[in-house]
Amino acid sequence: MSTIPLDALPMETLRRRSSSKWRTYPADVLPLFVAETDFPLAPAITAALSDAVAIGDTGYTPRENGLADAFAGFAQRLFGWSVDPARVRPTGDVMMGVVELLRATTRPGDAVVTTPPVYPPFAMCIEEAGCRVETVPLVDTGAGWQLDLDGIDAALAAGARAVLLCNPHNPTGTAHRPEALSALAEIAARHGAVVISDEIHAPLAYDDTPYTPFLAASPTAASVGYAVTSASKAFNLAGLKCAVMITAAEETAAVVRALPPEVEWRTGLFGAISGVAAFGGASDDWLDALRARLDGNRRLLGDLLRAQLPQAVYRMPEAGYLAWIDLSAYGWGDDPAVRIQRDAKVALHHGPQFGAEGVGFVRLNFGCAPDVLTDAVTRIGALAPA
């Protein structure tokens, strides 16, 4: 881990931003909902984008843009995962990649398995691809969450043709274990199904829980799987529109190669430029510093909840900067974020949007300064009975 401290930008600077996080609510509301962070960009990214602007480099994104090699090096350094750059293809964002892969691997009307509580756009993207959502909720073990492999097996046996996996999982922050991923791959192979793995939060996996990419879980996973990821969550680049689709077998690589050229043309040039700067090695120290700051924040959040909201149920995420918190004990309704935004002036993500399993929950973004996090939880705590 880097010893270089990474501090969030001051609030007066953040409120000059024009992104969704800072334009959705009035200025008296602390926005801890959407997955944007409050830190300055990695210096290598700032330099690359500044140079591009200075020379007017704002044209079309070339096919050979450096992303494949940069991502392959990044995967090897962070995860010990050997990726063939020839099997990396860019697109505009992760959900765009998911939709196109579903269109290529399913037929209209097919069922696609999701594992709620899960990122709300999963359902929307499955429907955009012409498929139906088949939910197999995560299993709450009392200590964490895990895939319901028997339930997924039954859904595929009943005709579902794909599993849309979130690894690490949003909103729980679960880094799925290699044995579970390997077992999932065997189930998919047995039923002739595919697994499409959204791995956008992988660069923010913490050291105390080693992260396993789905395609690296086993030879079978490599044969049935597709991964889609981006620098956008870890490096706060969502608005620049760039993601990569990765395969690890010739048959799946052929599917990606056969996607329409427009899938690749949708990649933003600034997204590709910043993605190379993020993945290429020059931003590794910055990423280490970010993880160190987020590690402190996820622990601080636990302390704050114990002090301010002792009936809240919170398990530290194993990856990312999103906390999944059960506030049902406080009787604030199925969607506690509504009252919290109205009365505490803190905007959190609405738990029920992640599925029926999110009733009574909120998702909190702790990718901010510790004092902002403290202020937010203190405000919410003031709503709780004495």
In this prediction the pTM is 0.97
Q: Tell me, yes or no, whether 260 and 358 share the same domain.
A: no
CATH of the domain at 308: 3.90.1150.10
Give the contacts of 5 (CB within 8 A, at least 6 positions apart). Answer: 289, 292, 293
pLDDT grade, residue 210 (50/70/90)?
Answer: confident
Q: Tell me, yes or no, whether 269 and 140 share the same domain.
A: yes
CATH of the domain at 56: 3.40.640.10
Q: Could you give the angle at which helices 94-105 and 121-128 cross, rounded to 10 degrees? A: 40
pLDDT grade, residue 148 (50/70/90)?
Answer: very high
- Please answer whether residues 326 and 311 qualify as being in contact, where contact means their C-beta atoms are separated by less than 8 angstroms: no
Q: In the listed set 236, 259, 279, which residue is the last one of a domain according to the structure?
A: 279
Q: Tell me, yes or no, whether 153 and 260 share the same domain.
A: yes
Give the contacts of 365 (CB within 8 A, at least 6 positions apart). Answer: 32, 33, 34, 35, 36, 37, 321, 322, 323, 349
**Residue 268: pLDDT above 50?**
yes
**Residue 22: pLDDT above 50?**
yes
Q: How many other CB atoms are there within 10 angstroms of residue 386's CB atom?
A: 3
Across the beta sheet with 322-326, the strand order is 313-314, 322-326, 361-365, 349-350
- d(CA 150, CA 136) in angstroms, rounded, equals 9
The pLDDT value recorded for residue 307 is 98
Tens digit of each residue's pLDDT (9 = 90 or more) over 232-262: 999 999 999 999 999 999 999 999 999 999 9
- d(CA 65, CA 349) in angstroms, rounded, equals 35
Q: Tell me, yes or no, whether 218 and 344 share the same domain.
A: no
Q: How many other CB atoms are there within 10 angstroms of residue 49's CB atom?
A: 18
Within-domain flag for 1 = no
- d(CA 271, CA 61) in angstroms, rounded, equals 9
The pLDDT value recorded for residue 5 is 84
Domain count, the chain: 2
- d(CA 351, CA 242) in angstroms, rounded, equals 28
- Please answer whether residues 326 and 313 qualify as being in contact, where contact means their C-beta atoms are separated by less than 8 angstroms: yes
- Please answer whether residues 360 and 354 qualify as being in contact, where contact means their C-beta atoms are separated by less than 8 angstroms: no
Domain boundaries, position 306? 11-42+284-381
The pLDDT value recorded for residue 168 is 98
Return the percentage of the chain with pLDDT > 90, whole number. Answer: 97
Q: Tell me, yes or no, whether 255 and 188 share the same domain.
A: yes
**Residue 1: pLDDT above 60?**
no
